[in-house]
Amino acid sequence: MQLNLPPFIPYAVGCMLILFGALRVRYLGAPRLRRRPASDENGAGGSADRASEPEERLERGPEQRRHIRWGIIWLLLGLFLVISTFIQVRRQIG
C-alpha cells in the first residue's frame, strides 16, 4: 500500500519535531538551581559566601535528563522525516 501525501506535510511535521525537540532540550532540559531552605536565606552571610556554597550549583535532575533524552529523540525523528521525504521526492522527480 502506498500513501501519496503532498511533500509539504512531512516537511512541516519534521520541522515541527526539530523545532520543539530543540526547544525541549534548551528550556526544559536546562539545569536548575538547587533551592535553599527559607531559614538560610534570611540568615546572615555575604554574597561571596553564598556563591561558593554547594547548594547553589547548577544541577540536572532526573526530569531534566528525561527532557534532554526525549528532545534528542524528537530531533532525530524530525531529521529522519525531512531527509527521507527529500530522498523520496528526488526519486519521484528523477
**For 72-76, which contacts have Cβ atoms below 8 Å and span 24 or more sequence positions?**
72/21, 72/25, 73/21, 74/17, 74/18, 74/20, 74/21, 74/24, 75/17, 75/18, 75/21, 75/22, 75/25
Residue 54 lies in a domain: no
Domain tally, the chain: 1
- Predicted pLDDT of residue 39: 65
Its domain, for residue 17, covers: 9-30+63-94
Is 84 contained in some domain? Answer: yes
Residues 33-78 pLDDT 10s:
666 656 655 655 555 555 555 556 677 888 889 999 999 999 999 9
* Pairwise pLDDT comparison (89 vs 61), residue with the higher score: 89
Q: Considering only 10-19, 23-32, 39-48, 54-63, which range has the smallest mean pLDDT? A: 39-48
